[in-house]
Amino acid sequence: MHVLLGSFAFMCIFPFLYVIIISISNEQSLAENGYQLIPEQWSLDAYKYLWDMKAQVLQAYGVTIFVTVVGTFLSVTVISMYAYAISRKQFKFRKQFTFIAFFTMLFSGGMVPFYIVMTQFLDLKNTMWALILPMAVNAFYIIIMRTFFLRSVPEAILESARIDGAGEMRIFLTIVLPLSIPGIATIALFSTLAYWNDWFNALLFIDDPNKIPLQSLLMRIENNMDFIKQNAMLSNQNSAILKSIPQDSARMAMVVIATLPIALSYPFFQKYFIKGLTIGGVKD
């Protein structure tokens, strides 16, 4: 049993270790022997090279961090307000608005109309909003949050606050939110991961090399490192570096750099992630 599970768990981690090994192999030995588990020669050239090319890498990192922070904040704000409103009995139209959110889970508008709305109606091509807005709200999270509010915020507390003369908005901000930290943290975590790993919206809407996130940068150097190089040319890097590009190891080094933040923070957020998953059924 241990062997079975242990080897599967190892299989899940192994490719990442393998990619790390490739990224610290010497390019020469890669060219001669292919990707090896134990390379003949270790070298940090790939990372040195990326350091020399840091303009593009840092730019993409900046885009990803910006989009993730702003997106997560927006997401949590909008979702929790909507979810709280439809969880309160005092709200006369809560059923209708619950349905309005819920229906989007059943029938989708499709990729093409969505694309045209984003580009033609909202005119968001090549803007940061194109990376933030599409993932800002998620009907499924609204429903989960609603369930969470129903369960974790006792009506009695709200009643006593109302008697003390607090307005609904103030009650929401000062009483409900602090009580709902676990639920909100869960949504924030899901949202952060989704933004960090998103490449799809960039694929649809971003052409400008200065606005691509990390994951897209990875996609663009898939076939060659030229993408980073072109931008290096623009910023007048010295051409000696450009001649000796550690193509393969540099690409894998880029993968490592993009994945490291998740791999390092993973042990800390994993517990909350699992808890969050079992936080609430959809029904009340």
Q: Which of residues 222-241 bind other proteins (CB under 8 A)?
A: 222
Using CB under 8 A as the binding rule, whether residue 156 contacts other proteins is answered as: no
The least distance separating other proteins from the CB of residue 236, rounded to whole angstroms, comes to 30
Kindly list the distances between the CA atom of residue 70 and the CA atoms of 137, 183, 237, in Å, as whole numbers in the listed order: 13, 19, 32
Q: Which of 111, 157, 233, 234 binds other proteins (CB under 8 A)?
A: 111
Tell me the two tokens of residue 274. 């699992």
Tell me the two tokens of residue 171. 């009650």
∠ Cα 97 101 105 (to 5°): 150
Using CB under 8 A as the binding rule, whether residue 89 contacts other proteins is answered as: no
Using CB under 8 A as the binding rule, whether residue 38 contacts other proteins is answered as: no
Cβ(128)–Cβ(67) under 8 Å? yes
Name 54's Cβ contacts closer than 8 Å, sequence gap at least 6. Answer: none
Residues 118-147 that bind other proteins (CB under 8 A): 120-122, 133-134, 136-137, 139, 142
Using CB under 8 A as the binding rule, whether residue 101 contacts other proteins is answered as: yes
The Cα–Cα gap between 48 and 53 comes to 9
Q: Which stretch binds other proteins (CB under 8 A): 26-34, 43-51, 54-62, 146-154?
A: 26-34
Kindly list the distances between the CA atom of residue 193 and the CA atoms of 8, 140, 171, 224, in Å, as whole numbers in the listed order: 24, 16, 30, 27
Cβ(244)–Cβ(25) under 8 Å? no
Q: Which of 58, 69, 78, 181 binds other proteins (CB under 8 A)?
A: 78
Using CB under 8 A as the binding rule, whether residue 174 contacts other proteins is answered as: no
Q: Which of 52, 66, 104, 151 binds other proteins (CB under 8 A)?
A: 104
Residues 188-227 that bind other proteins (CB under 8 A): 193, 196-200, 204, 215, 218-219, 222
The least distance separating other proteins from the CB of residue 184, rounded to whole angstroms, comes to 15
The Cα–Cα gap between 191 and 8 comes to 28
Neighbours of 2 (CB within 10 A): 6
173 vs 234 by CB, closer to other proteins? 173
Using CB under 8 A as the binding rule, whether residue 42 contacts other proteins is answered as: no
Residue among 68, 1, 39 at smallest CA distance from 262: 68
Q: Which of 57, 60, 85, 130 binds other proteins (CB under 8 A)?
A: 85
The least distance separating other proteins from the CB of residue 237, rounded to whole angstroms, comes to 25
